[in-house]
Every structure is written in structure tokens, then in C-alpha cells.
């Protein structure tokens, strides 16, 4: 049962073949069985999940009209607040904190009767591409437990690939939904910036952060997308416009006559050969499905990574100032006569990990007087140039595509001492965040040389998210015909206990 898609589970719940309690228990059993090896979860809310499941079953028994995903379990990235449930953002500074409020995403999940199984592991404050920066230890990729599951939403992607949950929530600041999806053979969508409320999303880089759906199929991602999206008065940057019709698009998958723009700059040197093979094959399948493949150029994308590593640290140095040991979270060194400043200094020394400190210091420097124009100011100008590149390219095509990442999953520990090598993982995903548009990654097969999953990225203009789902559904259907079964059926069986 746990290997079904979320929409198949929802159908079985609707026709009475199973109950949410049974389905939830099956996933809790799976977590108990394999999560010692995978470590996708930081907290499993057994009691809360079963209570929520029982409540949905009661509603269904009483004949209430329920939402499409009602009763289906989900794994929640630990960066989203959930009332009364431990929320750490992967950091020691929030260890033991139980938020007194729900994020808007959680409110939507609860209103849709989606059962929240627990909180998933992540790079501390979402800073990283491997989940190795979690203060609570790394998550392991179910395809190969010695490899990274991507990051920062690595717990969410691993939970999906290990069949610990059929749905998950991730957040994406520079690729943190799409890159984990790519390296675990799952689907991840970063909606248009402002499409999903950020209220209750612990902020890393406010002008880039975006929550989105993670799933094992394009349709499941679309169903979750519509459940969590929409305007929120509690987030002044949320878009006050109708949610794009992504479920209809995922059900259609009609790409006849659509123009698909291949980004010239996001391919070639630096991309693993198997990544390129799978990308070329996907293009052929889309062409066979009736799409027109064109080449587009985005000459300023090569500066996106540099601009990102100025903008994101700058915003984080400001956002993380709130962890001051005064109102919640860790407090260290509060001895008689200690000043507030010394308590802050000591708490932040102990509470933050190395990557977080690195980015706070870098951001403090980039925003400091005398360097502001040269660094932060220049990065903001690059952001304009990247947006202009997208606008020009979208005059020639409906969506843009590229490989999601330059390589397949690397080994745990392989890049942890080389920040620049680590940052290069995000080279193809960052431009989307800089422009605030939508991006999706879906599996395009395995790289022949290492047998590991490869992701295909689709980018669509702001508030045209449905186009990603059209193309994603078309490619998924073509690949499914070719493979005969979903890609994850080729993943090794986890030994469990």
C-alpha cells in the first residue's frame, strides 16, 4: 500500500478499501522499519498523526465532503512551524522549541485533512545542498545510503524515495526542493514566488524562499500544490490572484504545439555525461509528444551563482538576527552578572553550525558600509539581468528546460570541506529563484555510468505554473511507457530492521 501514489491512496480511501488510520499506521511502521538507516525524520508525531487520521475517518464515515487528498499522510520539512510540534529548522539553536502557532501551509494541510506524519531533516536553516549541514546528522539517499539525498529539503525527498510518505513539503531558496528531487528520483516543484504563503516558514532569504510540493508523481505534486497555494493576508508578499490550474494541467499533459526552450548555458561542460544523455532523451520524447524544441540563450545565468551567494547571505545575516537568546530557543552563558551581549555571543557560537556562521559573516560583510555597492548592490543588478534574460527567452518559448543538477548524488562527506564545490550543485536551479518564477524537477531516468537518478528541470514564467505541469505530465507519461514502471521501482530494497 505504501508504494502507491498519493492519488491512488486517496481513491482507496474514498471507495472504502482502506482507512486513513490504516494508511497512516502503515507509514509509521515503515518509518520505524527503515528510518534508522535513512534518517529522513527529526520528529515522528505518531500520536498526532493517528489522531488526525481518526478524525478524517470519522468525517468520512459521517458522509462529509472531503478534499481530494483527505486522509493521505505527508512529511513536513522542519522549517515550517506546526503548533505544539518540535520545530528546529535543523539547528541546535531551536532544539526543543514547540511553536505556539501553525504556519499557513500547515493550516492549509489541516484544512485539507492531510495527515502530518512528522518533521523532516534539512540543512540547518535550509543552507546547503546535501542535508549534511543538519545539526542532527545527515540524511541518507535511499538509492545508495552512502550518498546525499540533496538539500536542503533532503529529509523530505528521502522520505518519498524510501516510501515513508507519499507526499512532502519542501522549501526552495536556490534549488532546495528541485535538487533533492533530482538526486532521489522524485518530483519537486518550486511555485512562483508568492504563490504559497511564507507565514510560519522560518526565514533564510526572504526574497528567494518559497515552499512547495514534493511527491512521487506530477499529478500528486499538483494536488498538493493546489492544497497549499493561495493568497494569505499574513504574508504581504503572497500574490493576490487565482491559483494556477495545475491539477487540470497535470491531468492533461498535452504539449502539442508548445515551444520548449533549451537553455544553451545550462548544459555541456561541467555536466556529467549520463545527466546529458538523459536530458537529450527527454527532449526527444517531448518532441515526439508534439512539442517544438527551440534553443534559447541566457548569457547572464553564469553570474547567478555569484549573485546568489551575496544576496542569500546578506538576507540571512539580517533574518537570523532574531535568534538572540531572549524570547525563545537556546540561551547559553546566562550567569549572574552576564550581559545580554555576552549571552547572545555565546548562544550564537554554540547554537549555529559552521555553514550558518559562514553565511552570516559573509552577509554582514557584503552589507557593510564601504562594500555594500561593490557586493550586495552589484548582486542586485545581476538579479535584474537574469530576470531580463528570462523575459527575453520567454518571448521565444512557453517553458525553459535544463538538467536540474550537473551531477547525480555525490558521497556523504565528499564536498563538505569545499564550500565552492558544494555551491556549484545549484548552478542550474538558482536563476529561477533570482527571477521569482516557477521551477519543477522530475525524474528523467538513471545515469548509465552510476545507476543514480537524474532530474529534468522545467521553468515557467511567473504565475504560469500550470505550464510546468503540462510538460512534466507529458514527459512522465512518455518515460513511464518506456520504463514500464515508475523509476523508484528500480531503487534497491531497503533492508530495514
Partner 1 sequence: MSSLSSDDVANLARLARIQMSEEELVSFSNEFTVILNAVARVQEVAGADVEPTSHPLPLRNVFRPDVVVPSFTPKEALSGAPAQEESRFRVPQILGEEA
242 binds partner 1 (CB under 8 A): no
Nearest residue (CB) to partner 1, 434 versus 454: 434
Q: Which is nearer to partner 1, 39 or 348 (CB)?
A: 348
- Shortest CB 80 distance to partner 1, Å: 16
C-alpha to C-alpha distances, 377 to 293, 314, 321, 380, 435, nearest whole angstrom: 36, 11, 21, 5, 16
Site string for partner 1, 425-464 (x = CB under 8 A): ---------xxxx------------------------x--
Mask for 95-114, x = binds partner 1 (CB under 8 A): --xxxxx-------------
- One DSSP character per residue, 394-408 reads TTT-SEEEEESSSSS
334 binds partner 1 (CB under 8 A): yes
Q: Are the beta carbons of 31 and 117 closer than 8 angstroms?
A: yes
Residue 18 interacts with partner 1 (CB under 8 A)? Answer: no
Give which of 55, 117, 58, 125 is closest to 82, Cα–Cα: 117
Q: Does residue 47 interact with partner 1 by CB under 8 A?
A: no
350, 353, 359, 364 alpha-carbon torsion, rounded to 10°: 0
For position 46 contacting partner 1 by CB under 8 A, the verdict is no
CB 457 within 8 A of CB 288: no
The C-alpha cell 533549451 sits at 262
Binding-residue pattern over the window 352 to 371 for partner 1, x denoting contact by CB under 8 A: x----xx-xxx-xx--x---
Of 55-63, 68-76, 233-241, 277-285, the segment contacting partner 1 by CB under 8 A is 233-241
- DSSP secondary structure string for all residues of 431-470: HHHHHT-EEEEEEEEE-TTT--EEEEEEEE-TT-THHHHH
Does 489 sit near partner 1 (CB under 8 A)?
no
Q: What is the rounded distance in angstroms from the CA atom of residue 110 to the CA atom of residue 210?
A: 20
Q: Does 213 bind partner 1 (CB under 8 A)?
A: no
Element (H, E) at 54: helix 46-61
Q: How many residues bind partner 1 (CB under 8 A)?
A: 69
CB-nearer residue toward partner 1: 93 or 148 = 93
Interface with partner 1 (CB under 8 A), residue from 264, 380, 414, 486:
380
Going 60 to 64 to 68 to 73, the CA torsion angle's sign is negative
Q: Which residues are catalytic?
A: 77, 152, 176
Q: Is 223 helix (H, G, I), strand (E, B) or coil?
A: helix
Among 3, 11, 95, 233, binds partner 1 (CB under 8 A): 233
Whole-number Å distance between alpha carbons of 442 and 217: 8
- Under the binding rule (CB under 8 A), the answer on residue 297 touching partner 1 is no
Q: Assess contact for 453 and 179: CB atoms under 8 A.
A: no
Which residues are near partner 1 by CB under 8 A?
97-101, 193-194, 207, 233, 236-237, 239, 300, 303, 306-307, 309-310, 317, 321, 324-331, 334, 337-346, 348-349, 352, 357-358, 360-362, 364-365, 368, 374-375, 377-385, 387, 419-420, 434-437, 462
Amino acid at each position: 500500500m505504501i508504494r502507491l501514489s498519493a492519488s491512488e491512496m486517496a481513491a482507496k480511501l474514498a471507495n472504502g478499501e482502506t482507512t486513513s488510520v490504516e494508511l497512516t499506521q502503515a507509514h509509521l511502521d515503515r518509518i520505524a522499519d527503515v528510518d534508522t538507516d535513512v534518517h529522513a525524520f527529526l520528529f515522528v508525531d505518531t500520536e498526532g498523526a493517528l489522531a488526525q487520521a481518526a478524525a478524517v475517518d470519522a468525517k468520512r464515515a459521517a458522509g462529509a465532503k472531503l478534499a481530494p487528498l483527505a486522509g493521505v499522510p505527508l512529511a513536513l520539512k522542519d522549517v515550517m512551524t506546526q503548533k505544539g510540534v518540535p520545530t528546529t529548522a535543523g539547528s541546535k539553536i531551536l532544539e526543543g522549541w514547540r511553536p505556539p502557532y501553525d504556519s499557513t501551509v500547515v493550516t492549509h494541510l489541516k484544512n485539507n485533512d492531510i495527515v502530518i506524519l512528522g518533521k523532516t531533516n534539512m540543512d540547518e536553516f535550509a543552507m546547503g545542498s546535501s542535508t549534511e549541514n543538519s545539526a542532527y546528522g545527515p540524511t541518507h539517499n535511499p538509492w545508495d545510503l552512502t550518498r546525499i539525498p540533496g538539500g536542503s529539503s533532503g529529509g523530505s525527498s528521502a522520505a518519498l524515495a524510501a516510501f515513508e510518505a507519499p507526499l512532502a513539503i519542501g522549501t526552495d531558496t536556490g534549488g532546495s526542493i528541485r535538487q533533492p528531487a533530482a538526486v532521489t528520483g522524485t518530483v519537486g516543484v518550486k511555485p512562483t514566488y508568492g504563490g504559497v504563503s511564507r507565514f510560519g516558514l522560518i526565514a533564510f532569504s526572504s526574497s528567494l524562499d518559497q515552499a512547495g510540493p514534493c511527491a512521487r508523481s506530477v499529478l500528486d505534486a499538483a494536488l498538493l500544490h493546489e492544497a497549499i497555494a493561495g493568497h494569505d493576508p499574513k504574508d504581504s508578499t503572497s500574490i493576490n490572484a487565482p491559483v494556477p490550474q495545475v491539477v487540470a494541467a497535470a491531468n492533461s499533459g498535452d504539449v502539442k504545439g508548445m515551444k520548449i526552450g533549451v537553455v544553451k548555458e545550462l548544459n555541456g561542460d561541467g555536466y556529467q555525461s549520463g545527466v546529458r544523455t538523459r536530458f537529450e532523451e527527454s527532449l526527444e520524447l517531448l518532441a515526439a509528444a508534439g512539442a517544438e524544441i527551440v534553443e534559447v540563450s541566457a548569457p547572464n545565468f553564469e553570474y547567478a551563482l555569484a549573485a546568489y551567494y551575496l544576496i542569500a547571505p546578506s538576507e540571512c545575516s539580517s533574518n537570523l538576527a532574531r535568534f538572540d537568546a531572549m524570547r525563545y530557543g537556546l540561551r547559553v552563558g546566562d550567569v549572574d552578572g552576564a550581559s545580554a551581549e555576552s549571552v547572545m555571543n555565546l548562544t550564537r557560537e554554540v547554537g549555529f553550525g559552521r555553514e550558518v556562521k559562514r553565511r552570516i559573516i559573509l552577509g554582514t560583510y557584503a552589507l557593510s558600509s564601504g562594500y555594500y555597492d561593490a557586493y550586495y548592490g552589484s548582486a542586485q543588478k545581476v538579479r535584474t539581468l537574469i530576470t531580463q534574460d528570462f523575459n527575453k527567452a520567454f518571448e521565444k518559448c512557453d517553458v525553459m528546460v535544463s538538467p536540474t543538477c550537473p551531477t547525480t548524488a555525490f558521497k556523504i562527506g565528499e564536498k563538505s570541506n569545499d564550500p565552492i564545490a558544494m555551491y556549484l550543485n545549484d548552478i542550474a536551479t538558482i536563476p529561477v529563484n533570482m527571477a521569482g518564477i516557477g521551477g519543477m524537477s522530475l525524474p528523467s531516468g538513471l545515469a548509465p555510468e552510476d545507476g543514480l537518478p537524474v532530474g529534468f528541470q522545467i521553468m515557467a514564467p511567473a504565475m504560469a505554473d500550470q505550464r510546468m505541469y503540462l510538460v512534466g505530465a507529458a514527459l512522465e507519461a512518455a518515460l513511464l511507457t518506456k520504463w514500464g514502471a515508475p523509476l523508484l521501482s528500480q531503487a534497491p530494497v531497503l533492508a530495514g530492521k
